[in-house]
Each structure stands twice: as C-alpha cells, then as structure tokens.
Amino acid sequence: MKEFFRYLKFAWKYAKGEKKKIIAYIIFNIITIAISVFVPIISAKIIVGLTNGEFKQVLLMSLVILVVEISRSTSNYFLRLFSQIIYRETFTKIQSALGKEMLKLKTKTIDENSSGVFIQRLTNDTSKIADIFNVLNMYLGNIITDIGIFIAIFIISKTAFFYILAMIIIIYFVEKKRVHIFNEKDKEFRKKNEYVSGFVGELVRGIRDIKMLNAEKSFMKELHTKVVDLNQERYSMSKTDRNYSFIRGTFIDFFDTGLIFLLVAMIMKQDLAIANAIVIHNYMGKVTSLVNYASILMEKVKDFNLSSSRIFGIINSSDFPKENFGKEHIDKVKGNFEFKNVTFAYKDGKNVLKDLSFKVNSKETVAFVGKSGSGKSTIFNLLCKMYDVNEGKITIDGIDIKELDKDTIRGNITIISQSPYIFNMSIRDNLRLVKEDLTEEEMIEACRLACLDEFIQVLPDKYDTMVGEGGLTLSGGQRQRLAIARAFVQKTEIILFDEATSALDNETQAKIQQAINNLQKEYTILIIAHRLSTVVNSDRILFLNDGKIEAEGTHAELLKNCREYKKLYEAEISKE
C-alpha cells in the first residue's frame, strides 16, 4: 500500500486542478451510497408489510422508493458528468507532461528503446492513471454501500452474519491470489505489447520499402510470430482470470446453498422469522457484489501501480536518462565554435571520433568530406548536443556547450539532414513548427529560396496540402527542399547541411547550391557532402578519415596535397 499512496500522490499533481469537481463527485457519491443503503431497508419493510397484510404501508413505501430512485438517477447523472470531466482533464495533463518529458530524453535513450515503449505508455498507461480517482470513488462507494447491508444482516442475525463473513474471507484470499498472478502476467504482456507496437510502427513507416524489396512474406512471418506470442500472453491472462472466476463462483454457489440450509434450520428452531430470512437471502446478492467490488478494486490498484511505475520511470527515473543543459543563455550567438580533443563512441567499443580538434570562425563556410563512417554526421550530432562527448569539449563562442542552455544551442543552430522527417501536416504547418508567427511573405520567400515554390503552386491546396506521415506524398528531393525551406524560416546563425542535396537532381541541386552560396558570409555554414562539387566554393574543406582530420584546406589546396581527396573528386568527375 505504501507504493500505491506514493503513486497516488504522483497522480494527484495532475488531478488537483479539478479539486472542486472531485469534491462534488464525492458528495454525489455519498448521496448515492446513502440512497443505496436506504432502499434495501425500505424494500425489507415492503416484504414484511406484504407478509403481514399491511397494504397501505406497502403502497406508501413504494412511493417513497419512487422518490428515492429518482433521486438516485439524478445523483448518478452528475456522478457520470463529473467523472468524465475529471478523467478528461487529468488524462490530458498527464499525457502532456509525459510527452514533454519524452522530448527531454537523451537521444541515446531513444536509440536503445523501441518506439512501442513510448507509444504504449503515452496512450494506455496514462489512461489508467487518470482514471484512478473515479475508480476509487466508484468502487469504495459500492463497497461502503454493501458494508452497510452487511451490518444490516448482523442486526437481523449474528449467526448468518458470521457464516457470510467466513465466505467473504475465503473468497478474498482466492481473489488476492488471482490478482497477484494476473498482475505478474500483465507486466510481461505490456512489455511484449510495446515490442509489437514498435514493430507495427516500423511496418507502417517502411511499407514502401517492404513492397519494393518484395519482403512481405518474411516481414509478415516476423510480425505473425510476435503477434502470436503477444496473444498467447493475453490468453494466459484470460486463462488465469477464467480459472479463478470458476473457483470463486463455485465457492459462492456452495455457500449460497449452505446459507439456505442455515436459514431453514434457524426458522425451524424459531430463531429467525420467515420475513427476515427472505431479507437475508435477498441481501446475499449484495454481499456477493461486495466481494466482486473488493476484487476489482484490488485489481485496479495493482493495475494503477504498474502503469504509474512505467510512467514514473520516464518522468522521474534514472532508467530513462534526460538531456542535461547548462544555465548560461545567449540570445544570438556569433557563430564561432571549436572542437577540442573530442573523442566519442555511440556505444561502448569503437570510437567514431578520435581526439578530434578543429575551429570554425563566425560567417565561415566549412565543408566535411570523407568516406561513409568517417564521423562527419557525428560532428553535427555533437554540436547540436544530441549526444555528449566522451572526452574533450566543444565550445560555442568560447563557452563549453555543457554550460549553455538548450535554447542557446538549438535555437541558434539549424540542421538539414539527408533524411529529414516531414510531419503529417500541411506544408504551411510544417514550416510554422519552427516559427509560430510565420507570415505569408516569409513562407513564400523560404520556399522560393529552396526551389519549392513552383511545385507548391501546382498542388490543388497549395501551401495547405497535407504531405502524409513522414512526407510520404512527396519525392525524396521535395522532402529535402521542404526541410531546407524550414531551415530558411528559422534563420539561425549556424546552419548545418548534412547531405542536404543528396536526393536532388542536378538542376535542382544547382539551384540549392546557389541558395547556399547566397547565405555565405552572412551565416556560419557547415556542409557534409559526398558530392564534392557542392563544396568546392567553401572557405575550408576538412577531409576526415577514421574519425580524424587527415587534411585541411581549400578545394584547390586539397587537390594538390591530399591524394584521397583527389581520388574522390576524380571518381565523381568521371561519373558525370
């Protein structure tokens, strides 16, 4: 229970804004409980009245029950209303808080977990946390109602009371065992469900490649295996529930039959009036529901604890490390930065960068070239603090990036990657993501510079055209040009082009190159390119090999002094 109260306190942070509605919910619940206790008492008087022939009293009690039941219906209406509002608002706040925390996770943390881990926790687990206050009110209310009836049985017959109490104790332990086993299986089920969700996400995102590779059979075989395993776990949970429900039901059937024998024996001994025996027997259903409510409440509490631990793990646990930024803020950086003896590896093992040092001055255009895997993109990832260096340090305007806050680093750097992610929004909304107050003129100008405006003008909805998840309705070149337009909208002091023209045809690539040339001397520009023709006008070119700078200079200087660079350039020229 200590764990439950700790997580309940955690959930209350998101529900306390609805305090007034929660209080109103409790008040109406109390009213409903009082009515639920009152009705059986009146019903018992009707039975006694019918037995004794007191028909006027029966009719009067019937009218009282009518008024009471109308009151109960009204109370239930408001109970449902406040329940839905509390759930909606709490659910929204928890989901928003979790989404915000996910965006703080280290890139390495995201790399090491399936997307299903985050999807399931953001959708399913948050729902179960948000519902806990309604669950507690509803089931505790029902339990209190049935306890009131149980007390009424005690008043009528102590012998019947202790007989029923014995039944409740036995069934409680049966249910406690069921809930424990079910909860353990549920933990395993949720892990597998996360894995399947992540795999399905890959199916949706990679469906075009799956078709082009003619890999439907092998992919579906893998999916089938995972789904069968998941559903087997689901079946195992259902089996546990089914078996223990059978045991509980059998116990109740035997106890119910035993109660009838007990009541008959007490009537024959004249220890109990027939009318009271009928009342006790009718109450038996309510007593059984007391066990059911207590059982469900136990299950809900265990479920809540499990969901809370999974959410809590992302928000507050060291199991999901968050990015760390400094506190120093610079509104507008100059654009000078330096790598000082930087060593980095994505995982324990081979270093991608090895004691790397270089300096870039403000307004300078510097290109990085080299074979795949030489560490070019890693430099960009480290500069944006997507990963932390293992050794050495990186400075922006002379300040270690570990001391700078997030807005200083990422608010002053724009990166255009070789595989930009385009969101399932309109072209306009994709651009507004980086600037909420984007004007029509700024948007059109950014698309013009990115050589995208002519394409947009032929679309039926122009800038309001939806582009599909990941920009699936766009070609590779169009996606990159939209990403470039997005960068032009940001207008940061440092612009990083990571193979930004790799998916463009020669004509469009030439236009983009001209746009990049237009930015030179105004911004600090870093370019990664396999097409060396895109970097020949750079102020400097750094040739990387195996995580180190092997040569440095202008295009002309490297042709003279770097054999590997010359080989790459000549190989490219021969293909044209």
pLDDT tier, 505 (very low <50, low <70, confident <90, very high otherwise): low
pLDDT digits (tens, 9 = 90+) for 401-445: 888 888 888 888 888 777 777 887 888 888 888 888 888 888 888
pLDDT recorded at residue 573: 65
Instruction: Please check whether the domain covering 415-491 is classified as CATH 3.40.50.300.
Output: yes
Give the pTM. 0.68
Q: Which two tokens stand for residue 488?
A: 């032009």
- On the question of pLDDT at 101 being above 70, the answer is yes
Distance in angstroms between the alpha carbons of the first and the last residue of the chain = 72
Is 502 in contact with 528 (CB distance < 8 Å)?
no
Burial class (CB in 10 A: 0-12, 13-18, 19+), 560: exposed
SS3 breakdown of the chain: % helix, strand, coil, rounded to 5? 70, 10, 20
Q: Which of 97-101, 202-206, 318-322, 524-528 has the lowest mean pLDDT?
A: 202-206
pLDDT tier, 502 (very low <50, low <70, confident <90, very high otherwise): low
The SS3 of residue 369 is strand
pLDDT tier, 25 (very low <50, low <70, confident <90, very high otherwise): confident
- On the question of pLDDT at 202 being above 80, the answer is no
The SS3 of residue 213 is coil
Rounded to the nearest integer, the mean pLDDT of the chain is: 79
- On the question of pLDDT at 364 being above 70, the answer is yes
pLDDT tier, 332 (very low <50, low <70, confident <90, very high otherwise): confident
> Which part of the chain has CATH 3.40.50.300?
415-491
> Which part of the chain has CATH 1.20.1560.10?
2-315
pLDDT tier, 575 (very low <50, low <70, confident <90, very high otherwise): low
Is 61 in contact with 112 (CB distance < 8 Å)?
no
pLDDT recorded at residue 100: 81
pLDDT tier, 559 (very low <50, low <70, confident <90, very high otherwise): confident
Distance CA 163, CA 170 (A): 11
pLDDT recorded at residue 387: 86
Is 82 in contact with 160 (CB distance < 8 Å)?
no
pLDDT recorded at residue 326: 86
Once rounded to an integer, what is the mean pLDDT over residues 35-46?
A: 69
Please give the full DSSP string across 69-97, using - where no structure is assigned. Answer: HHHHHHHHHHHHHHHHHHHHHHHHHHHHH
* E strand segments, 503-554: 524-528, 540-545, 548-553
- On the question of pLDDT at 574 being above 60, the answer is no
pLDDT tier, 1 (very low <50, low <70, confident <90, very high otherwise): low
* Residues linked to residue 366 through DSSP beta bridges, in sequence order: 526, 540
* Stretch (H or E) spanning 452: none
- On the question of pLDDT at 180 being above 60, the answer is yes
Once rounded to an integer, what is the mean pLDDT over residues 218-228?
A: 77
pLDDT tier, 40 (very low <50, low <70, confident <90, very high otherwise): low
Q: Which two tokens stand for residue 150?
A: 């149980």
pLDDT recorded at residue 9: 75
pLDDT tier, 462 (very low <50, low <70, confident <90, very high otherwise): confident
* Residues linked to residue 358 through DSSP beta bridges, in sequence order: 339
Distance CA 403, CA 318 (A): 22
pLDDT recorded at residue 445: 84
- List b or e across 362-394, with b for residues whose CB sees 16 or more CB atoms inside 10 angstroms: ebbbbbbbbeeebbbbbbbbbbbbbbebeebeb
pLDDT digits (tens, 9 = 90+) for 141-165: 777 767 777 777 788 788 888 888 8
Is 477 in contact with 504 (CB distance < 8 Å)?
yes
Distance CA 174, CA 292 (A): 12
pLDDT recorded at residue 125: 81
pLDDT digits (tens, 9 = 90+) for 279-322: 777 777 767 777 777 778 888 888 888 888 888 878 876 778 78
Class of CATH domain 2-315: mainly alpha
Distance CA 38, CA 149 (A): 9
What percentage of the chain reaches a pLDDT higher than 70?
89
- List b or e across 31-66, with b for residues whose CB sees 16 or more CB atoms inside 10 angstroms: bbbbbbbbbbeebbbbbbbeeeeeeeebeebeeebe
Please give the full DSSP string across 294-353, using - where no structure is assigned. Answer: HHHHHHHHHHHHHHHHHHHHHHT-TTSPBP---SB--SS----EEEEEEEE-SSSSS-SE
Select the more confidently predicted residue: 73 or 203.
73
